[in-house]
Amino acid sequence: MQSNSSSNEEDSSCSSDSDSDSDDSDDSDNLESSELNPSREFCRHVSSIHEAKLFPDGLGFITADYDRTLSVYAIPADAPNALEVIPLEPYAQIKRAEPIWSFAIHPRFSVADPTTSHVLVGCRDSYVTLYNALWDVTRNPFDENGQPVPPPPGPPNISAKLASYKIIDPMRETVLAPNSLTYNHDGTRFIAGLKDAVTIFDMDYTESPVLTQKTIPSRNSKLKGGGRGFKGVISALSLAPQASGSGGILAAGSRTRWVALYESAGDGNKITEFSLPTTLRTRCNSQFGSSGSDIDDTPGSGISQLKWSACGTYLYVAERVSDSILIYDRRNFGFALSHCAGRNARTNNRLGFDVWSASTHYHQPGTSEEVWAGGIDGKIRIWRDPYFKEGALEADEVVQVGEDPITSTLVHPYGSLAVVCSGRYEYGLDVPTSEKGLLMDRRGCPKLRQWGSVDILGLT
C-alpha cells in the first residue's frame, strides 16, 4: 500500500483569520495564492470534514464539513498508479446557511446521466433538499438557434434546488431535520431518521412523508410505550444489499444505543429491536500489541454508523466514544458475534468506517471481506473476515496516514484505492495564530481553529 494522491492539506501559509461560519462569505475568501508551492495555482483551506460518501460508480465522492459546505470531488483516473502526489480540488461545492446534519447519494448515481446524479441534504431547521451534484440545471446548454453553448469558466453552479421535502411537527409547527438519510435500492424513495421515528418519502411527493415508523408508541409513556419500543434520535440508517437473501431489511440505530430492523426497506413491519451491550471484556490475540491481552471497552455514547456486509448476513455497528465495531449475525441478534477492537476512536466526533469485499464487484463468492476504520491517532486499521471469529479482534494491518483524526475511510469498489478524510478542532484562549487551520475568534466565545484534509491512497 502506498500513498499516491493527496488533496490540499492546510498549512501555515494558507491560514486565514476569517470566520468560517459566515453565511455571506465568498468562495474566493478561502482561496489564497501561494508562492511556496509552484505546483499549485493556489492553496485552499480545507475545513474539518465530518462525513464523506463515495459515488456508487466509484468515480468521485462527496464530503460535508464544518464550514457548512458540501464538496464534490472527482477521483483522478491515474490516481492508483500515480508516481507523485496529485493536487486535488473540489469539482463543485454547495454552501448552506445551516450545519449539514446528513446527506445521501442516489444509489444509481452516474456521471453520464443527469437524471441520477442527485444528492439529498438535510440541514438544521431546514427541509430535506435535493440537488444535482454535477450539473448546473439553471444553465441552458443550447442557444436560441439550437447550437451548443460552451460552459462558463470555473466550477459549475450546483446550488440550485431541485426539490424540497417537508418534515413538520404538527404539534409544534416546527421543521424537523433528519439526522440520517438513505435511499431505497431503486432511488424512488428515501428514508429519514428523526427523533423516535423513521420516515419514508416518495421522490415525487414533497409535502409530507408517505409513511412514518415510530420507534415507540407513545413518547410520554414512562414504560417506553408500555414496555415496547425505544426512544432516541435515529442517527444511522443502513439498507441490506439487494442481491442478498436479506435484501430490503432496513437497520436503524439510535443515540440511545438501540437498533431496530424493518422489512421492505422500512415499508414493512418491524422485525426486531435490540440494545447494545453495556460492556465488552474479553481476550484478543493479534500480531499487533501483546498476545492474549485483555480488552476492556466501555460502552459508547450512541450509534454513529451502521453497515451491512456484502452478503447481507452480518451487521456492523459503530458508536461514538468507543474503540469497538460490533458485529451481529442477522440470524441471532441476541448477542454480538464479535467486535473489532483497538480502533482508538474515543471521541464524540463521528469516525466512519467502510466494509469492502471482492465479491461485490468481482463476483467472486467466498472471498475475503475487510473492515477499514480510522482512529484519532491518524491511523487506519484493517480487519479481515472478522465474522469468522469470536470475541475481541485486533487489527490485521495498521497504516499510518497522518496525525489528525480520520473521520471517513472509503474503499473503492474495485479495491484499487482508498479515500481518507480527516478533521480536527482546537479550542482555547491561547490558540497560536501561526499554526495551520482557520482561526475563529468571536466575542464572548473561546477561540477555535479547525482544519481537515482529503487523501487518496493507491492500494498495491
**Rounded CA separation 193/427 (Å):** 31
Distance CA 154, CA 254 (A): 41
> What pLDDT does 307 receive?
97
Q: What pLDDT does residue 252 have?
A: 98
Structural domains of the chain, count: 1
- The reported pLDDT for the residue numbered 290 is 35
Residue 31's pLDDT is 30
Grouping H, G, I as helix, E, B as strand and the rest as coil, residue 447 is: strand
Tell me the longest C-alpha to C-alpha distance in the chain. Answer: 75
AA identity, residue 94: I
The grid coordinates listed for 249 are 431489511
Residue 292 confidence (pLDDT): 43
Instruction: Please report the pLDDT score of residue 152 as a whole number.
Output: 82
pLDDT of residue 427: 76
DSSP 120-160: EEEETTS-EEEEESS--TTS-SB-TTS-B-PPPSSS-----
311: CATH: 2.130.10.10
Instruction: Give the Å distances, CA to CA, from 203 to 186, 208, 212, 234, 399.
Output: 11, 11, 15, 21, 41
- With the C-alpha atoms ordered 93, 422, 305, 3, is the resulting torsion angle positive or negative? positive
Q: What is the pLDDT of residues 172-211, one digit of tens each?
A: 899 999 999 999 999 999 999 999 999 999 999 999 999 9
93 and 71 Cβ atoms separated by less than 8 Å: yes
Residue numbers in the chain where pLDDT is lower than 70:
1-44, 219-227, 243-247, 280-298, 360-367, 428-445
Q: Could you write out the DSSP letters of every residue in 23-38?
A: TT--GGGGEE--SS-T
Where do runs of H (alpha helix) occur along 262-388?
none
The answer to whether 185 and 244 have CB atoms below 8 angstroms apart is no
Instruction: Give the structural domain span for 96.
Output: 2-458
Task: Yes or no: say if 203 and 188 are a contact pair by the CB < 8 Å rule.
Answer: yes
User: Considering the chain, what is the average pLDDT of its residues?
Assistant: 82
